[in-house]
């Protein structure tokens, strides 16, 4: 992105910037968007330059699956969660805390930002217990220590977090990146939690985007099976984040400058989920 492109974005954003200066947003970059995340990283760097504190949490499931297949192993999933035995856990650490994490840090630095990559094991930041024996070394977060995040952010860097937690046995556990981002956002009490994925947002039963939902309306759509399949864990992560966050968003990371569009326009993009009632729920349905 050239200097003129940055200048144009900043000029449009200026009326909205004051809302977020000095505040924290948690951005979850989905593994499915890692191949087309150029403008997302640009947007994250722009936010940093504007004085907005960004915590970036990333996935990387496709990279893990690629390594497993190279070793002759077929990835296995139960209810959308990766089955992670001890051997697969070694690959998870290598792929997420190593390859993907450092790739993202390098991209941020190349675009003029400053970032430090960590995972939830570092400093005991994310502590988890085994979620289900059938899933193997897959964790559910029960405690968050924000000291590593605060230290990195205070030094002027973007904390870039791989979703791996420390188990009670002192070994690493694989985390769903959405739930890791939700746990961090709630504990930080971030201004927003933004989940970038490869879908436009939550759709109604006619396939139309629902721009706003309350937590109660979201649960109703799940019960009515309008929200189903892979969208369920995404909206559940949004709901978990609302324990400490004002607004959660699911937006399409494939859209050019989607993050900037969400932050710095009145309508935003994708679906926003809040604790309170939504003004546009009825007209969208």
Whole-angstrom Cα distance, residue 118 to residue 168? Answer: 19
Choice among 30, 31, 59, 270 that is catalytic: 31
Q: Are 249 and 273 in contact (CB under 8 A)?
A: yes
**Is 28 a catalytic site residue?**
yes
Three-state secondary structure readout of the chain: CCHHHHHHHHHHHHHHHCCCCCCEEEEEECHHHHHHCHHHHHHHHHHHHCCCEEEEEECCHHHHHHHHHHCCCCCCEECCEECECHHHHHHHHHHHHHHHHHHHHHHHHHCCCCEEEEECCHHHCEEEEECCHHHECEEEEEEECCHHHHHHHHCCCEEEEECEEEECCCCEEECCHHHHHHHHHHHHCCCEEEEEECCCCCECCCCCECCEEEHHHHHHHHHCCCCCCCHHHHHHHHHHHCCCCCEEEEEECCCCCHHHHHHCCCCCCCEEEECCCCCCHHHHC
**Given the residues 42, 139, 234, 252, the one annotated as active site:** 234
Contact 149, 188 (CB under 8 A): yes
30, 61, 201, 261: the catalytic one is: 61
248 in Cβ contact with 200 (< 8 Å) = no
Apex CA 159: angle with CA 270 and CA 164, to 5°? 85
- Selecting among 42, 43, 122, 178, the annotated active-site residue is 178
178 is catalytic: yes
Token pair belonging to 56 = 């970036």
The yes-or-no answer on residue 225 being catalytic is: no
Active site residue 117: no
**Residue 61 catalytic?**
yes
The residues annotated with a catalytic role in the active site are: 28, 31, 61, 178, 234
């Amino acid at each position: 992105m050239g200097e003129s492109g940055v200048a144009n974005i900043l000029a449009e954003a200026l009326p909205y910037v004051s809302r977020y200066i000095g505040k924290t947003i948690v951005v979850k970059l989905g593994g499915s968007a890692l191949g087309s995340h150029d403008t997302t990283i640009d947007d994250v760097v722009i936010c940093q330059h504007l004085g907005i504190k960004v915590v970036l949490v990333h996935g990387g499931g496709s990279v893990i699956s690629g390594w497993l297949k190279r070793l002759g192993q077929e990835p296995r999933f139960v209810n959308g969660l990766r089955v992670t035995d001890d051997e697969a856990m070694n690959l998870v650490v290598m792929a997420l805390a190593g390859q993907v994490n450092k790739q993202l840090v390098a991209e941020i630095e190349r675009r003029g930002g400053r970032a430090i990559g960590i995972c939830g094991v570092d400093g005991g930041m994310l502590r988890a217990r085994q979620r289900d024996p059938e899933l193997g070394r897959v964790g559910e977060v029960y405690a968050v220590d924000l000291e590593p995040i605060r230290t990195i952010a205070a030094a002027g860097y973007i904390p870039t977090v791989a979703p791996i937690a420390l188990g009670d046995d002192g070994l690493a556990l694989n985390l769903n990146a959405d739930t890791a981002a939700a746990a961090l956002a709630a504990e930080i009490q971030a201004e927003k939690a933004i989940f970038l994925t490869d879908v436009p947002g939550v759709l109604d039963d006619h396939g139309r985007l629902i721009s706003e939902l309350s937590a109660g309306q979201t649960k109703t759509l799940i019960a009515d099976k309008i929200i189903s399949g892979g969208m369920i864990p995404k909206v559940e992560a949004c709901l978990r984040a609302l324990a400490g966050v004002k607004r959660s968003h699911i937006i399409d990371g494939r859209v050019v400058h989607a993050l900037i569009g969400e932050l710095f326009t009145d309508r935003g993009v994708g679906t926003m989920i809040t604790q309170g009632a939504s003004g546009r729920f009825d007209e969208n349905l």
